[in-house]
Amino acid sequence: MSLINTIVVAGGTHGNERTGVRIVQKWMEHPECYNTLCTSAKVDLVLSNPEAMRLNRRYRDHDLNRAFSQTCLDVAVEPQQYEFRRARELNRIYGPKGPDTRTDLLLDIHNTGANMGLCLILSTRDPFTMKASAVLTQEFKNAWIYYQPEERCESPYFGTVARADVCIEIGPQPHGTLNAAIFEESEKLVKRYLELAEEWNRGELQKRPAVKVEVYTQLRDMGYPKPQGGGPIQAMIHPDLLGRDYCELKKGDKLFRTFDGADILYEGEADGRESVWPIFINEPAYYEKDIAMSLTVKSVEEW
């Protein structure tokens, strides 16, 4: 990315993830909280899913953050479901998705019930988001980088209407609640992204020496054990694994516990890989998506 001219800070893409909702609401009421941090860019604030916020639910009809693929946005008839309509509206205002988008950088603030700390999710190897996120892993002891490479056109995430984006996943925080310590840390982090965008626009961030970062790269999602042919889940996250996001899980380690108290062990990957690093362990919103956790591969890089 060359200059960052337009930034969008989004909260409430999921209506019951209150950290982002309240940061954005606070900043809307008190623009002085953010409007001096990156004066070289136009900074917009948005509450992405007001209807879900009103309901205190993740979404009303469909997960908004799964509604931004080009296919969804291009459907010829106006969709019935609220979130598909809202996605098109957001795309008209902040996109359009693709090379002509109005938005250079989108920061989308989410919460997770998993023990993820400040998880910085990058969907592309964009120079600014990489460099800024690397700096933030040094400034925030609980910040982590999750690299989830996306075919941008078909990616369903709101952030992909912009040229570059960071999806900030903050936890553990039960959906529908606030946590004061998490709120304050998150607000600081988002402010730092704006300051680092300013530093980027001055050409200074680029000159900082590279730093070593741990990068957790998406491998695959893992579902809960289910009976052949479908049905309710047959096991829970194993107590030894719960809360251990970003920790190594080795072949033979305890993975699930059945309702009868039996342990299910991790068998390794089909390709022979014997170690993975799970994240989003036991995320409440992913039960309906049949995701018990997302498996990643850890590497150390210089960014």
Q: Is residue 180 at the binding interface for its own copies, with CB under 8 A as the rule? A: yes
Stretch that binds its own copies, among 67-75, 83-91, 265-273, 277-285 (CB under 8 A): 277-285
150: which DSSP letter?
-
CA 75 – CA 84 distance, rounded (Å): 10
Q: How far is the CB of 56 from its own copies (least distance, A)?
A: 6
Q: Is residue 237 at the binding interface for its own copies, with CB under 8 A as the rule? A: yes
Q: Where are the beta strands (DSSP E) in 35-78?
A: 42-47
Neighbouring CB atoms inside 10 A of 27's CB total 20
Stretch that binds its own copies, among 88-96, 119-127, 157-165, 172-180 (CB under 8 A): 172-180
Stretch that binds its own copies, among 85-93, 146-154, 198-206, 237-245 (CB under 8 A): 237-245
Q: How far is the CB of 260 from its own copies (least distance, A)?
A: 8
Contacting residues for 245 by C-beta, under 8 A, at least 6 apart: 114, 115, 116, 117, 278, 279, 280, 281
Stretch that binds its own copies, among 189-197, 206-214, 230-238, 244-252 (CB under 8 A): 230-238
Q: How far is the CB of 231 from its own copies (least distance, A)?
A: 11
Here the tokens at position 203 are: 């050409």
Here the tokens at position 49 are: 């899913």
Which three-class secondary structure state does DSSP give residue 114?
Answer: coil
Residues listed for the chain: 303
Q: Give the residue, chosen from 3, 75, 178, 211, that forms a contact with its own copies under the rule CB under 8 A.
A: 178
Q: Give the residue, chosen from 229, 230, 261, 272, that forms a contact with its own copies under the rule CB under 8 A.
A: 261
Q: Is residue 166 at the binding interface for its own copies, with CB under 8 A as the rule? A: no
Q: Is residue 264 at the binding interface for its own copies, with CB under 8 A as the rule? A: no
Containing 171, the helix (H) or strand (E) segment is: strand 164-171
Q: Is residue 211 at the binding interface for its own copies, with CB under 8 A as the rule? A: no
Q: How far is the CB of 184 from its own copies (least distance, A)?
A: 7
Closest to 280 in 3D by CA, of 146, 129, 84, 109 = 146
CA 262 – CA 264 distance, rounded (Å): 7
- What x-and-dash track marks residues 34-73 binding its own copies by CB under 8 A? ----------------------xx----------------
Q: Is residue 22 at the binding interface for its own copies, with CB under 8 A as the rule? A: yes
Residue/partner pairs of 151-154 with CB below 8 Å, 24 or more apart = 152/97, 152/123, 152/124, 153/69, 153/70, 153/97, 153/98, 154/69, 154/70, 154/71
- Which residue(s) pair with 217 in the sheet? 147, 297
Q: How far is the CB of 181 from its own copies (least distance, A)?
A: 4
Containing 298, the helix (H) or strand (E) segment is: strand 293-302
Q: Which is nearer to its own copies, 233 or 247 (CB)?
A: 233
Q: How far is the CB of 259 from its own copies (least distance, A)?
A: 5
Q: Give the residue, chosen from 89, 184, 214, 274, that forms a contact with its own copies under the rule CB under 8 A.
A: 184
Q: Is residue 231 at the binding interface for its own copies, with CB under 8 A as the rule? A: no
- Peptide bond preceding 172: is omega within 30 degrees of 0, i.e. cis? yes
- Residues at the site binding its own copies, with contacts judged by CB under 8 A: 22, 25-26, 56-57, 113, 172, 174-181, 183-184, 232-233, 236-239, 242, 257, 259, 261, 282, 284-285, 287-288
